[in-house]
Chain A
Amino acid sequence: MTDRLNTAIRKTPSWLLYLVGAAYPVWLLYAGVTGGLGVDPVKAMEHALGKAGLQILVAVLLISPLRRFTPLNLLSWRRALGVISFFYILLHFLVWMVLDVQILSQVWADIVKRPYIIVGMASLLILLPLAVTSNNRSVRKLGPKWRKLHKATYLAVLLGGIHYIMQIKSFQYEPYVYLIVIVGLIALRRLPKRQMRRPKKGALQRAV
């Protein structure tokens, strides 16, 4: 059963993942313009994109422990998910800049003086080179450096989780749950690898 699932996952063409990923912002835009996002579509879209971006990033971090502790292997989706989350967060930023704040001098003022924006911006800037190098050519060119570079994902997600907490207006559980999960996933990496690794299943493992 899991074998068949893993095969299906492995065989999913990445364009399909990108297509599904692109559908969500397109739908948000459509819903926003036609009234489906309520009376304040700008905030609704801004929040939905930030939230979905963070959720996908958390999912990206989950892939490796899932492979380690369960038979499920989502490794072949990881790169596409990472790129999709980057685009959601980029759109989150653009919605904030163009539709929410609107005034360019104000955008700049916020970027340099609001701590929660600075933290979010730092996260986005860390994700940028990762998104740019998410292709086979970069993997080949950078060699072992590629893996090292892409470990920065952990930092970007952590900053995203902190940014989420920093923007709340009063106590709420949800952002803290996210941060706990993120910190937990980072801590999990430090867990000594007591179990034997399952035998590698060919070249697929390298397709990160």
Chain B
Amino acid sequence: MAHRWTNDLTHDDVTPKSAYMNRRQIVAGMAGLGLATIAPKAQAAAETLDPTPFDVITQYNNFYEFGTRKEDPARYAGSLTTKPWSIKIDGMVDNPGDYALSDILSKMTIEERIYRFRCVEAWSMVVPWNGFELKDLLDLAGVQSGAKYVAFETLYRPEEMPGQRQPFLEWPYVEGLRLDEANHPLTLMATGIYGKPMPNQNGAPIRLVVPWKYGFKSIKSIVRITLTDKEPPTSWNKSIPSEYGFYSNVNPKVDHPRWSQASERPIGGGFFAKRIPTLMFNGYEKEVAGLYEGMDLRKNY
């Protein structure tokens, strides 16, 4: 079910008009497929944050499968084959199996979500994603009653992903969410940005977006989703457990051991860009705080 959540971030006048109009046309052109049009200004809430330019979003990525430098994904991800693509859904589901991406998409409503994106390294962007809610996919697979967690896995294909030939992390990359986090209407399976198909370096053809958590939770190029009753292992937690926990909710009050999380550097603002304060749950406190009621967020970092 689409449209359970409405953007509070909007394109404001600073977005170049040509780019904006262009995008609207793309959006409008896809309206037949159910792609949402941009929320009217009147509906726009308190904030007017600009989406980060397309070129910035696609040239500054952490995607260690293609190398550890921010420019590596843009440079090396071109070689990735994303067609055909399927996602294996298994574990505690009624309908396990290999789901062709095209079949999945034919059943989904693609909408636009403009989300803040906060990296654990204390930089941030605003990204206009296109995608559908993860819950809709989980409903398709039929989650069984005992399931408590969702595990995700990135493609493992070292021939096309040069970073996987290096021991930066244990491959394949894995991530996980609690089932209630996965079912939250903010949790998105993204297939595009700015109305364009997902660029390879951003996690083509389909990736997770969990906007209230640090970016590394939003696993890219997903090939497998497993429903389980145990907390699944997650890549960065396996790599440095003292620095990266399972939850990894954006929290300005809990520092990373090596740097403060109280503020962030918006990327794309140039040499003298000012830091901005980091918001609790990355600004989605109202929507998600309830998920963590009674939990010690300092312990469950």
On A, residues with C-beta under 8 Å from B are: 32-33, 35, 38-43, 99-103, 106, 109-110, 114-116, 166-167, 169-172
Contact = CB atoms under 8 A, between A and B. Distances in A.
A169 B216 CA distance: 12
Given A32-B271, A171-B168, A40 B70 contact: yes
A41 B270 contact: yes
Interface of B: 55-56, 59-60, 64, 68, 70-71, 121, 123, 167-169, 239-240, 257-260, 262-263, 265, 267-268, 270-275
Contacts of A101: 275
Contacts of A102: 274-275
B260 A109 contact: yes
B271 A41 contact: yes
Nearest to A31: B271
Contact of A167 (B68, B70, B71, B258): B258
**Interface of chain B, main secondary structure:** loop
Contacts of B274: 102
Contacts of B262: 106
Contacts of A39: 55-56, 59-60, 267-268
A106 B260 CA distance: 8
Contacts of B70: 38, 40, 43
Contacts, number: 60
A171 B235 CA distance: 13
Given A103-B275, A169-B68, A170-B239, 17 more contacts: A40-B60, A40-B70, A40-B123, A40-B265, A40-B267, A41-B271, A42-B265, A42-B273, A99-B272, A102-B275, A110-B260, A114-B258, A169-B121, A170-B240, A171-B168, A171-B169, A171-B239
Q: Which of A35, A38, A116 has the most CB of B within 10 A?
A: A38
Q: Which of B168, B268, B271 has the most CB of A within 10 A?
A: B271
26 contacts: A32-B271, A33-B270, A33-B271, A38-B70, A38-B71, A39-B55, A39-B60, A39-B267, A40-B70, A42-B265, A42-B273, A102-B274, A103-B263, A103-B275, A106-B260, A106-B262, A109-B260, A110-B259, A114-B258, A114-B259, A115-B258, A166-B258, A169-B68, A170-B168, A170-B169, A170-B239
A27 B200 CA distance: 32
Q: Which of A33, A40, A101, A171 has the most CB of B within 10 A?
A: A40
A176 B60 CA distance: 25
Contacts of B121: 169
A118 B42 CA distance: 50
A170 B64 CA distance: 10
A42 B167 contact: no
Contacts of A116: 258
A193 B84 CA distance: 66
Contacts of A169: 68, 121
B267 A172 contact: no
A43 B121 CA distance: 11
A32 B268 CA distance: 12
A29 to B, nearest CB: 8
A145 to B, nearest CB: 38
A38 B123 CA distance: 15
Nearest to B56: A39
Contacts of A166: 258
A6 to B, nearest CB: 38
Nearest to A166: B258
Q: Which of A39, A116, A172 has the most CB of B within 10 A?
A: A39
Contacts of B268: 39
Nearest to B239: A170
A171 B263 contact: no
Contacts of B267: 39-40
Contacts of B64: 170
A168 to B, nearest CB: 8
Given A114-B259, A171-B167, A100 B71 contact: no
